[in-house]
Structure 1
């Protein structure tokens, strides 16, 4: 029943957003959602599950390749690497702003991933507090954050994250990121940013996938996404 109610809601939303299945000129941009969070919390999987759901519901969906798969990683180039991944996502979002082909764009890491990474680098001493604040202020400019309707932070307990990693790995040893210390530091960075910027904001969603099946996490995120879409449609009707 829950699945059917979501499918009906998706149909209702698209009929309001694009009743003739031809994007209206008055709509400035598609819906945009960022999924970010700790490693192995389910970001990439949930993005694909949402894409499948919305496409089956008649939506035109764009899912940009994650910046981490485009930008070659090098530990010697931190924090430059995360400057590049954040800018890649922002550049893609800007390209999609006036693209009438799509109703929905799903990002695997964008604005708030960059914000969290800068917090992480400050704590590690890679950046000074002033440098971190400068980059964060840029990322959170209305020109950037205003492109997104929702930022979903998916987190997972570090111990469970390592178990999920090793369950699909041929090499049973820790990596540069997938190790207890780094995972704990990243989790703490997400908590700090959420405490400062996320709690109480309608455009932010925190979800812990530690003890959930993928389908349970997907439905929870889908519910948050639907609610964000409804808020935007309601706000546009008041104008």
Structure 2
């Protein structure tokens, strides 16, 4: 796929500004919420940054909460993946609600690893014996609760080869040793969990 020309990008920017004006004039506009989910180092945050910059320059009001898993989760939880991902799930849902009901009324809310992403990790924990089937079922129904599940209109799923993820993770590090999460075996398993959820009827129409 070839890169767009400067003329194409200028046309895209003009169209976006026209749409932004119409959205701003709509008194009962409800924020469009999208989630960027997927395996570590697959391009989620990079694409959010690009899209966030484009939309803001096009005069859209954008809410893009800081990603919770690697940026906000208390460091002392990282040794326990169950505690770590439980905190991340609650953070994702809270940021979803804060963004959607924000008094500033954003036009677009972009979640970097939202509820869908957290559920993939919970499925991974179940497959590795850290969660029982019943515990996973309870979490699944919590994540897919209509009160917030219906708010997310689109999920963009990013995955990449585990070897590439590790290369991106370690290439600028002084210590190039795999970690608790960033190791090839876990990344292979995680990709499988995302593929399973991708076929789930609760999410299929959004992906």
Bin of the TM-score, shorter chain as denominator length: 0.7 to 0.9
Any idea what the Cα deviations from partners look like across 1:31-57, whole Å, max 9, x if unmatched?
Answer: 211111001101111111111111111
Q: Is the 8 Å Cα contact of residues 197 and 203 (structure 2) preserved in structure 1?
A: no
2:118 to 97, 104, 114: 114
Partner of 1:175: 179
Any idea what the Cα deviations from partners look like across 1:166-199, whole Å, max 9, x if unmatched?
Answer: 2222212111111111111111111111122477
Gaps of 5+ in 2: 1-6
RMSD over aligned CA atoms reads 1.9
- Is 2:154 the counterpart of 1:150? yes
C-alpha distance in structure 1 between counterparts of 2:169 and 2:116, whole Å:
23
Structure 2 counterparts to residues 160-199 of structure 1, below 5 A: 160-197=164-201
- Is 2:9 the counterpart of 1:3? yes
The Cα of 1:64 is off from its aligned counterpart by 0.7
- Is 2:77 the counterpart of 1:71? no
C-alpha distance in structure 1 between counterparts of 2:198 and 2:156, whole Å:
11
Evaluate the alpha carbon distance shift between residue 142 and residue 39 of structure 1 in structure 2; reply closer, same or farther with a 3 A threshold: same
Partner of 1:37: 38
TM-score in terms of structure 1 length: 0.76
Partner of 1:14: 20
Any idea what the Cα deviations from partners look like across 1:186-213, whole Å, max 9, x if unmatched?
Answer: 1111111112247741x22xxxxxxxxx
C-alpha distance in structure 1 between counterparts of 2:177 and 2:83, whole Å:
27
Q: Is the 8 Å Cα contact of residues 13 and 58 (structure 2) preserved in structure 1?
A: yes
The Cα of 1:100 is off from its aligned counterpart by 4.5
Evaluate the alpha carbon distance shift between residue 6 and residue 129 of structure 1 in structure 2; reply closer, same or farther with a 3 A threshold: farther
TM-score in terms of structure 2 length: 0.87
- Is 2:101 the counterpart of 1:98? yes
Question: Larger deviation: 70-79 or 129-138?
Answer: 70-79
C-alpha distance in structure 2 between counterparts of 1:137 and 1:16, whole Å:
37
Evaluate the alpha carbon distance shift between residue 173 and residue 78 of structure 1 in structure 2; reply closer, same or farther with a 3 A threshold: closer
Partner of 1:215: none
Q: Is the 8 Å Cα contact of residues 42 and 160 (structure 2) preserved in structure 1?
A: yes
C-alpha distance in structure 2 between counterparts of 1:103 and 1:59, whole Å:
6
Name the SS for the 2:174 alignment partner.
coil
C-alpha distance in structure 2 between counterparts of 1:5 and 1:135, whole Å:
44
Paired positions, count: 198
Q: Is the 8 Å Cα contact of residues 34 and 110 (structure 2) preserved in structure 1?
A: yes
